[in-house]
Every structure is written in C-alpha cells, then in structure tokens.
Structure 1
Amino acid sequence: MSFLLSLSRFIDALNEKIGSGVSWALFISVLICTGNALVRYVFHTSSNAWLEIQWYLFSAIFLLATSYTLRRNEHVRIDVVVGHFSKRTQVWIDVFGFLVFLLPMTLLVLYYAVPYAWESIHNQEVSSNAGGLIVWPAKLLIPAGFLLLTLQGISELIKRIGFLQGKVDASAFDKHSTTPEEEIEAIKAANNLN
C-alpha cells in the first residue's frame, strides 16, 4: 500500500502543477479574446487563426482542469443526500462511483480518443477555415485530458482504499475550496494589510 500511496502523491502533484498551468491558459485566452474583439470593432478585420487559438485554449482549460478539479474534490456531487451518511459510507459510495462510473467512462473515451488524435497527427490535419490553424493539437488534448482524469481517478481510489484501511486521513481527499466565511476573513486580512 505504501507504493500505491506514493504513486497517488505523485499523480496529485502532477495534476496540481497542470492545474496551475491551466490558469495561465485562461488568462491568455481572455487577453486574446479581448484583443480580437477590439481589432474587429476598431479596424473591422479579424482572423480565423485568433478565433481558433481561443478554441484551443478553452479546450485546454476544460480538458486539462478536470483532473485538477477531481483532485480538489470540487466536481458536482450528491452531497445533499450523501452528506447525511457517515464518512465511511461516503467513502464506499466514492469507491463504487470511481469503479463503476468514472474509470470505465474515462477508459472508454481514451479507447476512442487516442486513434482519433493519432489520425489527425498522422494526416497533419488543418482547419478548413480560411487562415485556420493545424487541428491536431486540439484533438490531442482529448486523450491527454482523459488520461490525466483516469490517473487522478486511480489516485482518488487509492486514497479512499487507504482511508478504509486506516492508513490515510480523510483530509487527503476532502474538499479544498474555501468556505464563504474563510473568503470574507481573507478579504478582511488583505484590506488590513493595505
């Protein structure tokens, strides 16, 4: 189990770094979107390449951030119902969900996405739009995102099994988001520094 927990920590660290990197893709996409809108309205011109870059960045944000979101336990859940159960029962529900829903779905998508992306890379597929970009980087994001999600699902499964064996504390997979009260305290603390 210690090897599996080490593997879980490695996967968690990988997805944390990728999640932090994806935040820059969001920032860059906002800049490109704003710049493209200004150029379109001021100079009455536009470029399909800039629109496609936004599409690539949005794809990266959504596909690569899913594993980060799962790592932080922020996906939409049935907490309204499950929240009334004991922590142990909640963990069993998670184990069931990972084994029956998450992992089979991600593996199925990977099964179809890898050849789909590979064919695009092999053919050096280019957008059919005038001035468009190569398409394979966007298609490669699909298997990359689902591979990361599969790995994070395995990591979460390892942590839940570790909890059931008494080797992992529940804090290893609790939600990482701040509560509204914590956000208010952070704002107050930041205002007191100014």
Structure 2
Amino acid sequence: MADTDTVLSIRPPTRDTMPSLLAAARLIDAITARIGRSASWVVLAVVLISAGNALVRKAFDLSSNAFLEIQWYLFSAMFLLAAAYTLQKNEHIRIDLISSRLSRRAQAVVDIVCTLLFLTPTCVLLVAFGWPMFVDAWVSGEMSPDAGGLIRWPVLLLIPVGFALLLAQGVSELIKRVAFLTGHGPDPLGSDQPEAAAPEQLVEERA
C-alpha cells in the first residue's frame, strides 16, 4: 500500500512557473489585505450612522429611509469586501471534526479540492449573475422603491466585486497550498497547528 506522502504527492511545477505563481499570490494577498483593512473602517461608519439615526429619531421624532438604507449598504460592504481578507487569514468557519485530525499535507489537499469544487464555482456564478444586475441598475438609474431611498447600483456593485475578490484570494490560497505540497513554499496554515500524529505513534501512546 502506498504511503501517505505518495498518495498526496503532486507533480511539481516547473522551476520557472512556481516563482511567478508565488509572486502573483503575494500580489493578490497584498491587495486583499489593503482592501480588508480599509473595510474595517466601515464598521465605525455604521456605528456612527446608526447612533446618529437613533438619536435624531428619539430627540426630534425624525427618520429617513436613506439613513436606514445606507446602514444596509455598509453592512453589505463589510461582509463582501472583507470576505477575501477573512479567507486569507483562515478565519472562515470550518467544520474540523475530520480535517483537524489529518496531517498538514492532507489538510492542504482537502483545501485544494474544496476550493476547486465549491469556492471557485460559487464565486464565478455570483460574479456572472451579479454583474448584469449592476449594469441594469446603472443604466436605468434604479432607485429604492421606498420614499427618500437611495440609488441601487452601488450596493449591487458590491456583489460582483466582493466575490471577484474572494475568487482571486481563492486562487492565491491554491497556489500557496500547491507550493507547500511540492516543497516550494511554507505551510500556509502556519506553525500553530501541530502535525497530526502518525497511526504508529498513536498505537504506541495507547499501549
């Protein structure tokens, strides 16, 4: 029976290809980090607008659909623009009942498979469907149906942009995991996750 390293082996990229791919991954990571950190300021804007809207409503009995809708827009911006940064930091919710027991190489393979089968198709579909929605709203000047509401295209633009950023970061994560499996890069999950014990070691510990 082939050992684990043989089963999980991946053909190494050519000597000229991998450095270029890793450079592209670093560029994607830098862009993602810049946008993700900038998106964190949206939280402050949401808090200030929410607090101001509440104070005006309580103190002067005034309210505006524009203030309510801008809060929804900013909530959308927080999640969609920071999703790629969250992926880069490996902070998305994971169900680790199985994968946490695997070796680092096995975890990298699982990440590659899931990125190719789930993350990539989902992002491609949402970008493909979201862009025409934005274009239609832009061309028509679509407005909120509520009185005093806002124009719609800015929030609709967040959908293709957010998932395009997430797709790009997914490509970066793929490159880094392939580099790790082929010996061209460090473990992308970091050194804080211990390597799973080999079956023989578990047997010895239980004996």
Partner of 2:100: 83
5 Å matches for 1:11-160?
Answer: 11-160=28-177
**CA–CA distance in 1 between the matches of 2:62 and 2:157?**
30
* Bigger radius of gyration: 2
2:8 aligned partner: none
**Cα displacement (A) at 1:129:** 1.1
Q: Please list the CA deviations of residues 73-123 of structure 1 after superposition, one character each: whole Å capped at 9, or x if unmatched.
A: 111112232111110001000000001110011101111111111111111
Q: What are structure 2's unaligned runs of at least 5 residues? A: 1-17, 193-207
How far apart, in 2, do the equivalents of 1:9 and 1:173 lie?
15
* Offset at residue 133 of structure 1 (A): 1.1
Q: TM-score scaled to structure 1, two decimals?
A: 0.87
Task: Tell me which protein shows more helix as a share of its residues.
Answer: 1
Percentage of matched positions with identical amino acids: 49
Aligned mates of 1:175, 1:38 — CA distance in 2? 48
Q: Does structure 2 conserve the Cα–Cα contact (< 8 Å) formed by 1:117 and 1:139? A: yes
Supply the distance in 2 between the matched residues of 1:175 and 1:46 (Cα, whole angstroms).
51
Unaligned runs of 5+ in 1: 177-194
- Residue 151 of structure 2 aligns to a residue whose secondary structure is coil
Match of 1:8 among 25, 34, 58: 25
Change (3 A) 1:21 1:175: farther
Q: Deviations over 1:2-26 (max 9, x none)?
A: 1110110011111111111111011
The separation in 1 between residues aligned to 2:189 and 2:140, in whole angstroms, is 42
Aligned Cα root-mean-square deviation (Å): 1.3
Q: Choose from 156, 178, 182 the match for 1:165.
A: 182
SS in 1 for 2:62: coil
Number of equivalences:
175
Q: Tell me which residue corresponds to 2:14.
A: none
Structure 1 position 38, deviation (Å): 0.7
Q: Which structure 1 residue ranges, 4+ long, deviate > 6 Å from structure 2?
A: none
**Matches of 1:74 and 1:175 in 2, distance apart?**
15
